[in-house]
Amino acid sequence: MRTIGLIGGMSFESSAVYYRQINEMVRDQLGGLSSAEVLMYSVNFAEIVALQKAGRWDDAAARLGDVAHRLQVAGAECVLICTNTMHLIAPEVAARISVPLIHIIDETAAALKAAGSVKPLLLATRYTMEHGFYAERMAESGVSVMVPGPEDRTVTHDIIFNELCAGIIKDESRRKLNAIIERAKADGADSVILGCTEICLILDPNALILPGFDTTTIHAQAAVDFALADEGVRSSCAA
C-alpha cells in the first residue's frame, strides 16, 4: 500500500471527512481491520484565510509548497491539497515535489464526464467561483462550468466561511443552497459540483434535484485508488 500525504486544516472540518472516508474506503476494499497509510500536515487555517483575503497567493503557494515537500520527505508517495480553493496554486505546489499531486479538479472532471454531465453548477467559495482557474481546468476536459449570480455567490461563500468551516449546519442555509440549485437547473445546469470540501456537511449529493458530485469523496477515492494500485484492487467513485 502506498502512503497518502494530505495537506489539511483548510478547514479541519473537511480534513476530518477526508481522513474518515479514506480509511473507510480502504477497509471496504481490503476488509477486516485494514486502514490507510496516511500522513497529514494540518495548517493553521486562519493564516491561510488571511493570505486569501489579502490576495497573497504567492505566499500561500510558498507555504503549501513547503508543506507538500515536508510530506514527501516524511514518506508520502502522493499529495492531496484537501481543499478546492487552494488548487488555484496547485501548479506551484506540484513543482515542489517529485511525487504525484492528485488534482481535485481533474478527478472531478473525470467523474462528470463518466456520468455524461457537461454543464454543472459550481457551488464553492468566492475565490473558486470567480478566479477562473476551476472553469478553465474543467474546460480542458470538455466540461462547461456554470456559477451562480453575484448575490447567490455571496450567500454560498458566507455559508461556507461563517458556518460550515466552523462546524455550524443550519437548515435555513441548506434551503438557500437548494434554491440556488433550482435556479441553476432552470438556467440549464445538468448537475451540481459540491466544489468546496465542506459543502458535503450540509448537502447530500444523492438527495439533490440534479446529479451531485461531491469533490471531497471523489478526491478521497482517487487517493485510495492510487494507494491500492499495487494491491490489485480498484473501485470507481459513484456520483
Tens of pLDDT along 41-53?
Answer: 999 999 999 999 9
Percent of the chain with pLDDT over 70: 97
Helix (H, G, I), strand (E, B) or coil at 200: helix
Catalytic member of 78, 82, 165, 196: 196
CB atoms within 10 A of CB 33: 6
pLDDT at residue 155, rounded to an integer: 98
Q: Which three cell numbers stand for residue 178?
A: 437548494
Do the domain assignments include residue 200?
A: yes
Question: How confident is residue 232, by pLDDT bands cut at 50, 70 and 90?
Answer: low
pTM given for the model: 0.93
95 & 180 share domain:
no
Mean pLDDT of 116-125: 97
Do the domain assignments include residue 239?
A: no
Mean pLDDT of 128-153: 96
Do the domain assignments include residue 238?
A: no
Would you call the peptide bond into 236 cis, given omega within 30 degrees of 0 as the criterion? no
169 & 222 share domain:
no
Helix, strand, coil fractions of the chain, as percent rounded to 5: 55, 10, 30
Mean pLDDT of 19-46: 97
Do the domain assignments include residue 51?
A: yes
Do the domain assignments include residue 61?
A: yes
**pLDDT at 233 > cutoff 50:** no
pLDDT at residue 69, rounded to an integer: 98
Q: How many domains does the chain have?
A: 2
Question: Is residue 200 annotated as a catalytic residue, yes or no?
Answer: no
* Structural domain harbouring 136: 105-214
71 & 113 share domain:
no
87 & 147 share domain:
no
pLDDT at residue 230, rounded to an integer: 81
Mean pLDDT of 61-65: 98
Question: How confident is residue 214, by pLDDT bands cut at 50, 70 and 90?
Answer: very high
Catalytic member of 82, 83, 200, 216: 83
113 & 50 share domain:
no
Pairing of strands 212-214, 78-81: unpaired
Mean pLDDT of 63-89: 98
Do the domain assignments include residue 32?
A: yes
Question: Which strands, in side-by-side order, build the sheet including 78-81?
Answer: 38-42, 4-8, 78-81
CATH of the domain at 133: 3.40.50.1860
70 & 123 share domain:
no
189 & 223 share domain:
no
Question: How confident is residue 191, by pLDDT bands cut at 50, 70 and 90?
Answer: very high
Mean pLDDT of 107-134: 96
95 & 165 share domain:
no
Mean pLDDT of 172-177: 98
92 & 112 share domain:
no
